[in-house]
Structure 1
Protein backbone atom coordinates (compact mmCIF):
# COMPACT_ATOMS: atom_id res chain seq x y z
CA UNK A 1 0.00 0.00 0.00
CA UNK A 2 1.29 3.42 -0.85
CA UNK A 3 -0.07 5.16 2.27
CA UNK A 4 1.10 4.43 5.81
CA UNK A 5 -2.18 3.53 7.49
CA UNK A 6 -0.48 3.36 10.88
CA UNK A 7 0.29 7.09 10.66
CA UNK A 8 -2.29 9.74 11.46
CA UNK A 9 -4.55 9.96 8.40
CA UNK A 10 -6.23 13.13 7.18
CA UNK A 11 -10.01 13.12 6.91
CA UNK A 12 -9.74 13.13 3.11
CA UNK A 13 -7.37 10.16 3.14
CA UNK A 14 -9.64 8.23 5.49
CA UNK A 15 -12.70 9.11 3.41
CA UNK A 16 -10.95 7.83 0.26
CA UNK A 17 -9.83 4.62 1.95
CA UNK A 18 -13.34 4.06 3.31
CA UNK A 19 -14.86 4.57 -0.15
CA UNK A 20 -12.55 1.98 -1.73
CA UNK A 21 -13.09 -0.40 1.21
CA UNK A 22 -16.87 -0.08 0.79
CA UNK A 23 -16.61 -0.53 -2.98
CA UNK A 24 -14.49 -3.69 -2.68
CA UNK A 25 -16.62 -5.31 0.02
CA UNK A 26 -19.85 -4.51 -1.85
CA UNK A 27 -18.51 -5.89 -5.13
CA UNK A 28 -17.18 -9.04 -3.44
CA UNK A 29 -20.71 -9.67 -2.25
CA UNK A 30 -21.94 -9.42 -5.84
CA UNK A 31 -19.29 -11.21 -7.91
CA UNK A 32 -16.00 -13.13 -7.75
CA UNK A 33 -12.84 -11.16 -6.99
CA UNK A 34 -11.40 -12.21 -10.36
CA UNK A 35 -14.28 -10.40 -12.12
CA UNK A 36 -13.80 -7.08 -10.30
CA UNK A 37 -11.92 -4.45 -12.30
CA UNK A 38 -10.11 -1.34 -11.10
CA UNK A 39 -12.50 0.71 -13.26
CA UNK A 40 -15.47 -0.86 -11.49
CA UNK A 41 -13.94 -0.18 -8.08
CA UNK A 42 -13.30 3.45 -9.00
CA UNK A 43 -16.80 3.92 -10.36
CA UNK A 44 -18.35 2.39 -7.22
CA UNK A 45 -16.09 4.41 -4.91
CA UNK A 46 -16.63 7.63 -6.85
CA UNK A 47 -12.93 8.31 -7.51
CA UNK A 48 -10.82 8.37 -10.70
CA UNK A 49 -8.27 5.64 -11.50
CA UNK A 50 -5.43 8.04 -10.68
CA UNK A 51 -6.67 8.27 -7.10
CA UNK A 52 -6.86 4.49 -6.87
CA UNK A 53 -3.23 4.20 -7.99
CA UNK A 54 -2.17 6.96 -5.56
CA UNK A 55 -3.28 4.64 -2.75
CA UNK A 56 -2.93 1.08 -4.04
CA UNK A 57 -0.61 -0.90 -6.29
CA UNK A 58 -3.44 -3.08 -7.64
CA UNK A 59 -6.66 -4.88 -6.65
CA UNK A 60 -4.75 -7.32 -4.43
CA UNK A 61 -3.25 -4.41 -2.52
CA UNK A 62 -6.73 -2.96 -1.94
CA UNK A 63 -7.96 -6.38 -0.82
CA UNK A 64 -5.12 -6.61 1.70
CA UNK A 65 -6.03 -3.12 2.93
CA UNK A 66 -9.63 -4.32 3.40
CA UNK A 67 -8.44 -7.20 5.60
CA UNK A 68 -6.23 -4.79 7.55
CA UNK A 69 -9.14 -2.41 8.11
CA UNK A 70 -11.33 -5.29 9.28
CA UNK A 71 -8.62 -6.66 11.56
CA UNK A 72 -8.42 -3.36 13.41
CA UNK A 73 -11.84 -4.27 14.77
CA UNK A 74 -10.27 -7.21 16.62
CA UNK A 75 -9.16 -6.35 20.13
CA UNK A 76 -5.60 -7.70 20.26
CA UNK A 77 -3.88 -4.60 21.56
CA UNK A 78 -2.26 -5.99 24.68
CA UNK A 79 -1.68 -9.72 24.52
CA UNK A 80 1.60 -9.37 26.41
CA UNK A 81 -0.35 -8.72 29.61
CA UNK A 82 -2.39 -11.90 29.04
CA UNK A 83 -1.10 -15.03 30.76
CA UNK A 84 0.91 -17.14 28.27
CA UNK A 85 -1.45 -20.12 28.58
CA UNK A 86 -4.39 -17.91 27.51
CA UNK A 87 -2.81 -16.04 24.59
CA UNK A 88 -3.79 -18.54 21.90
CA UNK A 89 -7.39 -18.56 23.18
CA UNK A 90 -7.45 -14.75 23.29
CA UNK A 91 -6.14 -14.55 19.72
CA UNK A 92 -8.57 -17.22 18.52
CA UNK A 93 -11.52 -15.48 20.21
CA UNK A 94 -10.62 -12.06 18.77
CA UNK A 95 -10.35 -13.46 15.25
CA UNK A 96 -13.56 -15.49 15.66
CA UNK A 97 -15.35 -12.35 16.96
CA UNK A 98 -14.18 -10.48 13.88
CA UNK A 99 -15.43 -13.20 11.53
CA UNK A 100 -18.73 -13.50 13.39
CA UNK A 101 -19.33 -9.74 13.48
CA UNK A 102 -18.96 -9.70 9.69
CA UNK A 103 -20.92 -12.93 9.11
CA UNK A 104 -23.46 -11.39 6.74
CA UNK A 105 -20.78 -9.94 4.46
CA UNK A 106 -18.74 -13.12 4.74
CA UNK A 107 -21.75 -15.21 3.72
CA UNK A 108 -22.34 -13.04 0.62
CA UNK A 109 -18.63 -13.12 -0.26
CA UNK A 110 -18.53 -16.92 0.19
CA UNK A 111 -21.38 -17.23 -2.26
CA UNK A 112 -19.34 -15.52 -4.98
CA UNK A 113 -15.80 -16.56 -4.15
CA UNK A 114 -14.88 -20.21 -3.73
CA UNK A 115 -12.71 -21.07 -0.69
CA UNK A 116 -9.96 -22.34 -3.02
CA UNK A 117 -9.99 -19.17 -5.15
CA UNK A 118 -7.63 -16.16 -5.16
CA UNK A 119 -9.72 -13.98 -2.84
CA UNK A 120 -9.61 -16.53 -0.03
CA UNK A 121 -5.95 -17.28 -0.72
CA UNK A 122 -5.32 -13.57 -0.08
CA UNK A 123 -7.44 -13.69 3.11
CA UNK A 124 -5.70 -16.81 4.42
CA UNK A 125 -2.31 -15.27 3.73
CA UNK A 126 -3.32 -12.11 5.60
CA UNK A 127 -4.71 -14.03 8.61
CA UNK A 128 -1.60 -16.21 8.72
CA UNK A 129 0.72 -13.16 8.74
CA UNK A 130 -1.36 -11.44 11.41
CA UNK A 131 -1.60 -14.52 13.62
CA UNK A 132 2.12 -15.22 13.21
CA UNK A 133 3.07 -11.68 14.22
CA UNK A 134 0.70 -11.63 17.18
CA UNK A 135 1.80 -15.02 18.46
CA UNK A 136 5.52 -14.45 17.75
CA UNK A 137 5.52 -11.40 19.99
CA UNK A 138 3.68 -13.22 22.77
CA UNK A 139 5.41 -16.59 22.97
CA UNK A 140 6.85 -17.48 26.34
CA UNK A 141 10.31 -18.16 24.90
CA UNK A 142 11.56 -19.83 28.07
CA UNK A 143 9.04 -22.67 27.76
CA UNK A 144 10.41 -24.04 24.48
CA UNK A 145 13.71 -25.27 23.09
CA UNK A 146 12.54 -24.68 19.51
CA UNK A 147 13.03 -21.30 17.77
CA UNK A 148 10.26 -18.81 18.59
CA UNK A 149 9.53 -18.13 14.89
CA UNK A 150 9.01 -21.84 14.23
CA UNK A 151 6.61 -22.12 17.17
CA UNK A 152 4.81 -18.96 16.04
CA UNK A 153 4.39 -20.45 12.54
CA UNK A 154 2.99 -23.64 14.07
CA UNK A 155 0.56 -21.76 16.33
CA UNK A 156 -0.51 -19.34 13.58
CA UNK A 157 -1.07 -22.18 11.10
CA UNK A 158 -3.11 -24.07 13.68
CA UNK A 159 -5.27 -21.04 14.55
CA UNK A 160 -5.76 -20.40 10.82
CA UNK A 161 -6.64 -24.03 10.18
CA UNK A 162 -9.34 -24.07 12.86
CA UNK A 163 -10.78 -20.68 11.80
CA UNK A 164 -10.74 -21.78 8.15
CA UNK A 165 -12.50 -25.03 9.04
CA UNK A 166 -15.19 -23.29 11.09
CA UNK A 167 -15.83 -20.04 9.21
CA UNK A 168 -14.67 -20.40 5.64
CA UNK A 169 -15.55 -24.04 5.04
CA UNK A 170 -18.84 -23.79 6.90
CA UNK A 171 -18.42 -26.28 9.75
CA UNK A 172 -20.45 -24.98 12.65
CA UNK A 173 -18.41 -25.04 15.86
CA UNK A 174 -19.11 -23.60 19.27
CA UNK A 175 -16.43 -21.45 20.92
CA UNK A 176 -15.67 -24.35 23.24
CA UNK A 177 -15.11 -26.60 20.22
CA UNK A 178 -12.90 -23.95 18.57
CA UNK A 179 -10.74 -23.89 21.69
CA UNK A 180 -10.76 -27.68 22.10
CA UNK A 181 -9.80 -28.32 18.47
CA UNK A 182 -7.00 -25.77 18.67
CA UNK A 183 -5.59 -27.17 21.92
CA UNK A 184 -5.79 -30.75 20.68
CA UNK A 185 -3.88 -29.80 17.52
CA UNK A 186 -1.28 -27.86 19.54
CA UNK A 187 -0.58 -30.55 22.12
CA UNK A 188 2.48 -31.71 20.24
CA UNK A 189 4.15 -28.35 21.05
CA UNK A 190 2.67 -27.64 24.47
Structure 2
Protein backbone atom coordinates (compact mmCIF):
# COMPACT_ATOMS: atom_id res chain seq x y z
CA UNK A 1 0.00 0.00 0.00
CA UNK A 2 1.19 3.48 -0.75
CA UNK A 3 -0.29 4.91 2.46
CA UNK A 4 1.33 4.07 5.78
CA UNK A 5 -1.40 2.61 7.97
CA UNK A 6 0.83 2.59 11.04
CA UNK A 7 1.00 6.37 11.33
CA UNK A 8 -1.73 8.87 12.02
CA UNK A 9 -4.48 8.67 9.42
CA UNK A 10 -6.40 11.85 8.67
CA UNK A 11 -10.18 11.88 8.41
CA UNK A 12 -9.90 12.53 4.68
CA UNK A 13 -7.59 9.57 4.20
CA UNK A 14 -9.86 7.34 6.27
CA UNK A 15 -12.90 8.52 4.29
CA UNK A 16 -11.12 7.64 1.03
CA UNK A 17 -9.98 4.25 2.33
CA UNK A 18 -13.51 3.51 3.57
CA UNK A 19 -15.00 4.46 0.18
CA UNK A 20 -12.69 2.07 -1.67
CA UNK A 21 -13.23 -0.66 0.94
CA UNK A 22 -17.01 -0.27 0.56
CA UNK A 23 -16.73 -0.26 -3.25
CA UNK A 24 -14.65 -3.45 -3.28
CA UNK A 25 -16.84 -5.33 -0.80
CA UNK A 26 -20.02 -4.26 -2.63
CA UNK A 27 -18.69 -5.34 -6.02
CA UNK A 28 -17.38 -8.66 -4.66
CA UNK A 29 -20.93 -9.46 -3.62
CA UNK A 30 -22.10 -9.11 -7.23
CA UNK A 31 -19.27 -10.47 -9.37
CA UNK A 32 -15.96 -12.36 -9.31
CA UNK A 33 -12.84 -10.48 -8.22
CA UNK A 34 -11.24 -11.12 -11.63
CA UNK A 35 -14.08 -9.20 -13.32
CA UNK A 36 -13.79 -6.05 -11.18
CA UNK A 37 -11.96 -3.18 -12.84
CA UNK A 38 -10.24 -0.18 -11.33
CA UNK A 39 -12.69 2.02 -13.25
CA UNK A 40 -15.65 0.27 -11.57
CA UNK A 41 -14.03 0.65 -8.17
CA UNK A 42 -13.43 4.35 -8.73
CA UNK A 43 -16.93 4.94 -10.04
CA UNK A 44 -18.48 3.08 -7.11
CA UNK A 45 -16.23 4.86 -4.57
CA UNK A 46 -16.81 8.29 -6.14
CA UNK A 47 -13.11 9.04 -6.68
CA UNK A 48 -10.99 9.47 -9.83
CA UNK A 49 -8.42 6.87 -10.94
CA UNK A 50 -5.61 9.19 -9.85
CA UNK A 51 -6.86 8.99 -6.26
CA UNK A 52 -7.02 5.22 -6.46
CA UNK A 53 -3.40 5.09 -7.60
CA UNK A 54 -2.35 7.54 -4.89
CA UNK A 55 -3.48 4.95 -2.35
CA UNK A 56 -3.06 1.56 -4.04
CA UNK A 57 -0.72 -0.10 -6.52
CA UNK A 58 -3.54 -2.14 -8.11
CA UNK A 59 -6.72 -4.09 -7.31
CA UNK A 60 -4.74 -6.74 -5.40
CA UNK A 61 -3.28 -4.02 -3.18
CA UNK A 62 -6.80 -2.75 -2.43
CA UNK A 63 -7.87 -6.31 -1.68
CA UNK A 64 -5.01 -6.64 0.81
CA UNK A 65 -6.16 -3.39 2.43
CA UNK A 66 -9.69 -4.85 2.67
CA UNK A 67 -8.29 -7.87 4.54
CA UNK A 68 -6.38 -5.54 6.88
CA UNK A 69 -9.49 -3.44 7.51
CA UNK A 70 -11.61 -6.51 8.22
CA UNK A 71 -9.00 -8.01 10.53
CA UNK A 72 -8.84 -4.79 12.53
CA UNK A 73 -12.51 -5.30 13.33
CA UNK A 74 -11.72 -8.60 15.04
CA UNK A 75 -11.49 -8.56 18.80
CA UNK A 76 -7.93 -9.79 18.95
CA UNK A 77 -6.85 -9.92 22.55
CA UNK A 78 -3.19 -9.68 23.46
CA UNK A 79 -2.56 -13.42 23.36
CA UNK A 80 0.72 -13.13 25.22
CA UNK A 81 -1.23 -12.01 28.29
CA UNK A 82 -3.74 -14.89 28.05
CA UNK A 83 -3.03 -18.10 29.97
CA UNK A 84 -1.13 -20.40 27.60
CA UNK A 85 -3.75 -23.17 27.76
CA UNK A 86 -6.42 -20.71 26.49
CA UNK A 87 -4.49 -18.93 23.73
CA UNK A 88 -5.66 -21.13 20.89
CA UNK A 89 -9.28 -20.80 22.02
CA UNK A 90 -9.05 -17.00 22.27
CA UNK A 91 -7.47 -16.73 18.79
CA UNK A 92 -10.06 -19.13 17.33
CA UNK A 93 -12.94 -17.18 18.91
CA UNK A 94 -11.64 -13.86 17.55
CA UNK A 95 -11.41 -15.26 14.02
CA UNK A 96 -14.78 -17.03 14.24
CA UNK A 97 -16.43 -13.86 15.61
CA UNK A 98 -15.12 -11.91 12.63
CA UNK A 99 -16.44 -14.47 10.16
CA UNK A 100 -19.80 -14.76 11.92
CA UNK A 101 -20.27 -10.98 12.12
CA UNK A 102 -19.82 -10.81 8.35
CA UNK A 103 -21.89 -13.88 7.42
CA UNK A 104 -24.22 -12.14 4.96
CA UNK A 105 -21.35 -10.52 3.10
CA UNK A 106 -19.38 -13.78 3.15
CA UNK A 107 -22.28 -15.72 1.60
CA UNK A 108 -22.79 -13.08 -1.09
CA UNK A 109 -19.08 -13.06 -1.92
CA UNK A 110 -19.01 -16.88 -1.98
CA UNK A 111 -21.87 -16.87 -4.48
CA UNK A 112 -19.60 -15.12 -7.00
CA UNK A 113 -16.14 -16.18 -5.86
CA UNK A 114 -15.50 -19.90 -5.27
CA UNK A 115 -13.48 -20.93 -2.18
CA UNK A 116 -10.72 -22.30 -4.42
CA UNK A 117 -10.52 -19.15 -6.57
CA UNK A 118 -8.06 -16.23 -6.48
CA UNK A 119 -10.06 -14.11 -4.02
CA UNK A 120 -10.05 -16.72 -1.30
CA UNK A 121 -6.47 -17.71 -2.09
CA UNK A 122 -5.55 -14.11 -1.29
CA UNK A 123 -7.62 -14.19 1.90
CA UNK A 124 -6.10 -17.50 2.93
CA UNK A 125 -2.54 -16.16 2.44
CA UNK A 126 -3.39 -13.06 4.46
CA UNK A 127 -4.98 -14.98 7.34
CA UNK A 128 -2.23 -17.60 7.32
CA UNK A 129 0.46 -14.93 7.60
CA UNK A 130 -1.34 -13.06 10.38
CA UNK A 131 -2.34 -16.20 12.26
CA UNK A 132 1.26 -17.40 12.11
CA UNK A 133 2.55 -14.07 13.43
CA UNK A 134 -0.10 -14.11 16.15
CA UNK A 135 0.65 -17.68 17.21
CA UNK A 136 4.41 -17.06 17.08
CA UNK A 137 4.06 -14.33 19.72
CA UNK A 138 2.40 -16.68 22.17
CA UNK A 139 4.06 -20.07 21.68
CA UNK A 140 5.21 -21.42 25.02
CA UNK A 141 8.82 -22.04 23.98
CA UNK A 142 9.72 -23.93 27.16
CA UNK A 143 6.94 -26.46 26.67
CA UNK A 144 8.17 -27.97 23.40
CA UNK A 145 11.43 -29.26 21.98
CA UNK A 146 10.40 -28.08 18.50
CA UNK A 147 11.26 -24.71 16.93
CA UNK A 148 8.72 -22.01 17.86
CA UNK A 149 8.10 -21.01 14.23
CA UNK A 150 7.27 -24.61 13.31
CA UNK A 151 4.77 -24.83 16.17
CA UNK A 152 3.28 -21.46 15.19
CA UNK A 153 2.84 -22.70 11.60
CA UNK A 154 1.17 -25.88 12.83
CA UNK A 155 -1.25 -24.00 15.10
CA UNK A 156 -2.05 -21.33 12.49
CA UNK A 157 -2.63 -23.92 9.75
CA UNK A 158 -4.87 -25.97 12.03
CA UNK A 159 -6.98 -22.93 12.94
CA UNK A 160 -7.27 -22.02 9.26
CA UNK A 161 -8.15 -25.54 8.25
CA UNK A 162 -11.06 -25.72 10.68
CA UNK A 163 -12.29 -22.16 9.97
CA UNK A 164 -12.11 -22.75 6.21
CA UNK A 165 -13.96 -26.05 6.53
CA UNK A 166 -16.69 -24.52 8.69
CA UNK A 167 -17.19 -21.07 7.18
CA UNK A 168 -16.04 -21.23 3.57
CA UNK A 169 -16.91 -24.81 2.72
CA UNK A 170 -20.30 -24.70 4.42
CA UNK A 171 -20.06 -27.24 7.23
CA UNK A 172 -22.17 -25.86 10.05
CA UNK A 173 -20.44 -26.21 13.40
CA UNK A 174 -21.27 -24.88 16.83
CA UNK A 175 -18.58 -22.91 18.62
CA UNK A 176 -18.01 -25.90 20.92
CA UNK A 177 -17.50 -28.13 17.88
CA UNK A 178 -15.02 -25.63 16.39
CA UNK A 179 -12.99 -25.80 19.58
CA UNK A 180 -13.25 -29.58 19.77
CA UNK A 181 -12.11 -30.01 16.16
CA UNK A 182 -9.12 -27.70 16.64
CA UNK A 183 -8.05 -29.38 19.87
CA UNK A 184 -8.49 -32.85 18.39
CA UNK A 185 -6.27 -31.92 15.45
CA UNK A 186 -3.67 -30.30 17.71
CA UNK A 187 -3.35 -33.18 20.15
CA UNK A 188 -0.23 -34.38 18.40
CA UNK A 189 1.54 -31.22 19.60
CA UNK A 190 -0.21 -30.57 22.90
Instruction: Give the TM-score category using the shorter length.
Output: over 0.9
Deviations 1:41-67 (Å, cap 9, x if unpaired)? 011001111111111111111111101
Paired residue secondary structure (1:18): helix
Query: Is 1:119 paired with 2:125?
Result: no
Check conservation: 2:28, 2:112, Cα contact below 8 A.
Answer: yes
Structure 1 residue 155: Cα displacement: 0.5
Q: How does 1:53-92 map to 2 (within 5 A)?
A: 53-92=53-92
Paired residue secondary structure (1:57): coil
Deviations 1:96-133 (Å, cap 9, x if unpaired)? 00000000100100000001100000011111111101
TM-score, normalised to structure 1, is 0.98
Q: Which residue number corresponds to residue 96 of structure 1? A: 96
Check conservation: 2:77, 2:90, Cα contact below 8 A.
Answer: no
Q: How does 1:1-190 map to 2 (within 5 A)?
A: 1-190=1-190
Paired residue secondary structure (2:171): coil
**Count of aligned residue pairs for this structure pair:** 190
5+ residue gaps in structure 2? Answer: none
Structure 1 residue 157: Cα displacement: 0.4
Structure 1 residue 80: Cα displacement: 1.1
Taking only aligned residues, the RMSD between alpha carbons, in angstroms, comes to 0.7
Runs of 4+ in structure 1 off by over 3 angstroms are none
Structure 1 residue 6: Cα displacement: 2.0
The change in CA–CA distance for 1:90 and 1:77 in structure 2 (over 3 A counts) is closer
Structure 1 residue 77: Cα displacement: 3.6
